[in-house]
Structure 1
Amino acid sequence: MIDRALLRTGPSGGHIWRIVEHQEEAATRNITRSSSEQGRLEQLLDAHKPAYPPATSHLNWILRAPFRYPPLRHGSRFGPPTEMGILYGARERNTAMVEAAVYLWLFQQGLSDLGPLEVIQDGRSALHFPVFHPSTADLTADPLRDWWPRISDPADYSFSQPLGSAHRQAGSGMIWFHSARWPAGVNCAVLDPAAIHSGTVPAQQQWNLRIDVTACWWGRPGGEQFEVGYGEVADATGRITHPALASGSLPSSHAMR
């Protein structure tokens, strides 16, 4: 039984950040010989992807994508594997960057031998756009403090997923919640595409990143930069936990080395 306090909603909005693959150039462009070949390849790839939900027809293509795919086998923070995808973002840009870094570390830690992937240098696009919904749950509210550890448990979705389903069934459109990776940060789960107004085009910032087993550095022209250390997101045993991992966590890259 979910406590009624966790299901309270009201009007709320703001701007959120979302980190995605670099948008300046298609990832497949290096295997095509011309723009026409590239266009044809993208058509073929798109034809084999799930259809966009009708409720997303008003959205810019880059904001429609998260709703297109159901969560992976273990679901997401508020989404069981059987429900429509959820767009996740962060209130703060640094929080979004930390979340992205964690998944790169999890990727590295899944390798038995890091080899050339011990250091990853790549580009990312940081999207920034407004959201608003008249039925928004603010799970960061102080009266809900006792539930915070369960809502944002870095290794367990068993509490948050039923809560997300209950909100979806009740018509909630958004959920604000504390980041499981960066406690000072606040994340946003957009359940209802209507929380993003028609015609919204996200502002984009292009960033470079460099990640190894000790830190993830982000930088962009002009000198703006941000860095997060592996130790800032790992637990006391030096591991990064995640609900999709059979044992709840993977050994750290430090231990693997």
Structure 2
Amino acid sequence: MEKSSKDWKTRITQPFHQTISGQFWRIVESQEQVATQSLVDSLEEQSLFEELLEASKPKQEASSHQNDKLQDNNLHNNILNSNTLNNSTLNNSTLNNNNVNTNNVNTNNGWHYLLTTPFRYPPLLWGSRFGRRFEPSLLYGSKSIQTLLAECAYYRFIFWHGMETPPPTGKLNSQHLIFSATYRSEKGAQLQRSPFNAYEEELLHHSNYESCQELGSWMRELGIEAFEYTSARCQAKGTNVALFTKEALTCQQPLEQQPWLCELTKDRVTFSGTYYRSPLNDGIGYLADSNSLITFDAEVFLCDGKLPSPA
């Protein structure tokens, strides 16, 4: 790629900033052990076990359904807030499982640690897709859980291939927390639309981030606070979100929170979501059964037969 092909200042000559807003999802990895998972050998068995446990509970009466739901949510949140989450060495992207401590709810003038941590990460050795290694980090998210899991699956495979010695069992189980937040900025951009979609090949490159990083630096210069862009890992080209500053957030606390389990092997990543029951309809992964087992095969992320490294 020649230098001139990445000179965004000369390629994008018309104003492109606009107001953007919406909801995004992020994922973090916890080290909490799941009691039921220790009794079974796979996520398929664990999901079936959870269904059997649910079926054994007394049926709810209609009048008490809402109260029971609130009690379940409170219990669920208490469990999540008791997790001890450790620091990740993998990446600062959402998409890449940052480990943080949910006990630190209000760390800075009411801001939840989950929302402020991404901006505090040190630059990565290779930077991130839109951030150079000498620039402040961004907060990355996805507009849908399906896109988020596709991104996460890719980085789980990166993690597997980065291990010196794979686990003797041939699989690695982990627990994750998916949470949502909202954003709005009058200084936003939509890279999935004109005029940027004319350069989709560069913006969606599987391993070369140079052009994206130059665009990110230029947007910083222009005062862009937040932007949307097409995911390079999602087969259905779902939309991701990135924030340069927490000023683009419209909430100080995470909104909906969902616990997920992940099973990683050399060739497959399987996610199991306890609270997410919607069937997939965008071509991302597939449901292994009725219990929201969402599976990604390594081959969907390969380029020329190899797993591309972020760079």
- Smaller-chain TM-score bracket: 0.7 to 0.9
Return the match for 2:149 from 94, 97, 104.
Answer: 97
**What is aligned with 1:78?**
130
Report if aligned partners of 2:19, 2:187 keep a CA contact under 8 Å in 1.
Answer: yes
Q: Residue deviations 1:36-63, cap 9 Å, x none?
A: xxxxxx99xx9xxxxx9xxx75532111
Q: Which residue of 2 is the match for residue 171 of structure 1?
A: 223
Q: How far apart are 1:126 and its partner, in Å?
A: 0.6
Aligned mate of 1:134, from 186, 198, 218: 186
1:21 to 17, 29, 36: 29
Which residue among 175, 200, 213 is the counterpart of 1:161? 213
- Amino-acid identity (%): 24
Corresponding pairs, count: 220
CA 1:5 to 1:70, structure 2 compared with 1: closer, same or farther past 3 Å? Answer: farther
SS at match of 1:181: coil
| Structure 1 runs of 4+ with >3 Å offset | none
SS at match of 1:20: strand
Aligned pair 1:205/2:258, yes or no?
A: yes
Inter-partner Cα distance in structure 1 for 2:85 and 2:251: 27
Question: Partner letter of residue 206 of structure 1?
Answer: P
**Cα distance change, pair 88–206 in 1 and its aligned pair in 2 (3 A):** same
Residues in 1 aligned to 2:252 and 2:158: alpha-carbon distance in whole angstroms: 35
**Displacement, 1:84?**
1.0
Please name the residue that 2:171 is paired with: 119
Q: How far apart, CA to CA, are the structure 2 residues paired with 1:6 and 1:153?
A: 24
Give the alignment partner of residue 191 of structure 1, picking from 211, 229, 244: 244
Q: For residue 18 of structure 1, report the CA deviation from its aligned partner.
A: 0.7
- The one-letter amino acid of 1:232's match is V
Offset of 1:181 from its aligned partner?
0.9
Deviation of the 1:115 alpha carbon:
3.5
Stretches of structure 2 lacking an aligned partner (at least 5 in a row): 1-6, 31-79, 87-99, 276-290
Q: Who is 2:300 aligned against?
A: 232
CA distance in 2, matches of 1:63, 1:83: 19
Coordinate RMSD, CA, aligned: 2.5
Instruction: Specify the structure having the higher radius of gyration (Cα).
Output: 2
2:183–2:251 contact (8 Å) kept in structure 1: no
- Is contact 1:58–1:198 with CA below 8 Å preserved after alignment? no
Q: How much has 1:113 moved relative to structure 2?
A: 3.5
Change beyond 3 A, Cα 1:196–1:19: same
**Structure-2 change in CA distance of 1:127 and 1:242 (3 Å):** same
Higher strand proportion (structure 1 or 2): 1
CA displacement, residues 33-92 of structure 1 (integer Å, 9 cap, x when unaligned): xxxxxxxxx99xx9xxxxx9xxx7553211100001132011101111111110000111
SS in 2 for 1:241: coil
For residue 180 of structure 1, the aligned residue among 226, 232, 253 is 232
The answer to whether the Cα contact below 8 Å between 1:79 and 1:86 also exists between their aligned partners in 2 is: yes
Question: What is the aligned partner in structure 2 of residue 34 from structure 1?
Answer: none
